[in-house]
Amino acid sequence: MSISIAIGVPEVKVDVLGDYDLISVPNLGYYLHPGAPIVPVKVVTLKLPLGSKVLGVEYSAKYKQLKGVYRVLPTPQPQRLDEVKKQPLILEDPSIY
């Protein structure tokens, strides 16, 4: 059995939020890991019959570079709602930025 999934990206939207840019694509979610850039992502879940074995996974992708230079908004740090002293919400992961 072979399964093929195509994900089209009709448009990319860039919103300026203060010093950062938020990149979004209709019908895609976001990769959210504290300190890492918030980037569009598509999660695909496949239901396979009981006892199925995955023999391999192949993918291909086409890339289109966005014109311009962007500073992508990092995922905010988790915050406890009961804390009086709030930690900085936006902290860039230095290994990425």
CB 66 within 8 A of CB 12: yes
26: closest CA among 7, 45, 6, 46?
7
- Please report the pLDDT score of residue 9 as a whole number: 79
pTM of the model: 0.77
Percent with pLDDT over 70 in the chain: 98
Task: Give pLDDT, residue 8.
Answer: 81
Report pLDDT for 63.
Answer: 83
Give the integer Cα–Cα distance in Å for 64 and 8. Answer: 12
pLDDT one-digit tens code per residue, 21-51: 999 999 899 999 999 999 999 998 989 999 9
Quick one: tokens of 71? 């500073």
